[in-house]
Structure 1
Amino acid sequence: MMNKGHLHQIHPILPVQDVVEALKYYVNKLGFSIAFADDSKNPTYAGIRRDDVEIHLQRHDVSEWESGFNAAMLRIVTQNIDDLFEEYKAQEVFHKNTSLKETAWQTREFAFYDLYKNGLTFYTDI
């Protein structure tokens, strides 16, 4: 009998215009730490980590953004969602309509966009 493949983790890559600015945002506002960077002074690719989640950030040229480049949307499974909501609220990263709500699909969640319009949704199953 063959062993079945097992998916263990995913490391999504978010497009950003400036990796240094994105790192500052994720570290200072969202509580991530820097896992790695391809260059210590002017990175074009870097990874950030918080708890069991690792996200990679990749520089994309400004011309790509001007041509209607679509940014990513992430859904991140979260524990202690009320505490995380309050933490990010205090960091003033939310849009004025951001709220923590229960959904028809049985989750409790909130969502907002990062500096480069990548959508971040944090949720927990009810």
Structure 2
Amino acid sequence: MEKGYLHQIHPVLPVKNVLAALFFYVNKLGFDIAFADDDKDPKYAGIRRDDIEIHLQWHDEAEWELTVDRPMLRIVTQHIDSLFEEYKTKDVFHKDTSLKETPWGTKEFSFYDIYKNGLTFYTSVS
């Protein structure tokens, strides 16, 4: 019998409005819509760019009143300088977003989506 092999991961991010989240990821970050459970008022959808897929799931407004840490995704990236320049023109960064080398051997930048889910894009420099 062959050993089990982990092939991919599709993280699910909580969002208040799936259509608004789709607009952000498609128009600001260059993702494509992979699927949606409804064309007009989706509650669950997937987006894809290159080799990654992220799922977006609607959560009731009342759930956002709780002080809960939002997910932070670390996305391995090729051509990090080009991606940083692309996103810099899309008005998605906060004032302190920068591309930097870290003490743990990566070059990376981070920002939040419209629902405060963290996105870090990085590449190894060692």
- TM-score using structure 2 length: 0.98
Instruction: Tell me which residue corresponds to 1:49.
Output: 48
Alignment of 1:47-126 (within 5 A): 47-126=46-125
Aligned CA RMSD, in angstroms, stands at 0.6
Give distance in 1, aligned partners of 2:66 and 2:10: 26
Count, aligned residues: 125
Q: Which amino acid aligns with 2:55?
A: H
SS of residue in 2 equivalent to 1:124: strand
Q: Over residues 35-55 of structure 1, what are the superposed CA-to-partner deviations in whole Å (9 max), with x where a residue is unaligned?
A: 000000000000000000000
Cα deviation, residue 95, structure 1: 0.4
For the pair 1:11 / 2:10, whether they are aligned, the reply is: yes
Cα deviation, residue 3, structure 1: 1.6
SS of residue in 2 equivalent to 1:111: strand
Cα deviation, residue 67, structure 1: 1.5
Cα deviation, residue 69, structure 1: 3.1
Structure 2 unaligned residues grouped into runs of 5+:
none
Q: Which amino acid aligns with 2:15?
A: V
Q: Which amino acid aligns with 2:84?
A: F
Q: Which amino acid aligns with 1:53?
A: I
Instruction: Tell me which residue corresponds to 1:32.
Output: 31
% identity of equivalent residues = 71
| Runs of 4+ residues deviating >4 angstroms | none
